[in-house]
Amino acid sequence: MNRTASAFLLVAVLTGSLVALGFALQIKGYGVGNLGNERLDGLASASSFVPLAALYALAAMLVTILPIRAAAMVHSSGTTPLYLAAIVLFATIVGVQGARLAFGNTEALRALLDWQFLFVAGIVAAHLSLDTLRRNVLLRTLAFIGFGLSTLACLYWTFRF
């Protein structure tokens, strides 16, 4: 958990600093500030977490069913990078919106109220409980079924309400 929080905070601060630099350049009249801010803003959106959650659920499904050595390889080479990618993308969004709020845009935090950010919480919760889910056969089977259903739902359900 400490690694997650420190990575999140570092990326959010770095992103916020870059956006603040872009706003400072815009205030001075340079157009490159707007270009940089648009690139950072376009880097991650809430809708990008749905396919990322599908990839994570597939990797976690393999971790729950594979033998210990293969599961360890999938965990270290598959689930952990996907988990950290979700953290970095979410921290980027929070950093951009935090910098916008600091520069007077009061509507900036409204972008963080998108329901698709629940996929980030799901990835974090699944990653932190993945070792517990491998402990006994019943939890392993239920986790396999749950991650399989999550993969299919993230890939083939539109999530439009």
What's the pLDDT score for residue 146?
96
- Cα separation, 75 vs 79, in Å, equals 5
Q: What local confidence, expressed as pLDDT, does residue 3 receive?
A: 86
Structure confidence at residue 159 (pLDDT): 78
User: Which single residue is written with the structure tokens 């890939």?
Assistant: 155
Residue reference for tokens 């706003």: 23
> What pLDDT is attached to residue 94?
94
Question: Residue 127: how many CB atoms within 10 A of its CB?
Answer: 20
- Residue among 2, 8, 9, 97 at smallest CA distance from 46: 97
pLDDT one-digit tens code per residue, 102-138: 998 888 888 889 899 999 999 999 999 998 988 889 9
Spell out, as residue ranges, where the chain has pLDDT lower than 50: none
128: phi then psi, degrees, rounded to nearest 5: -75, -20
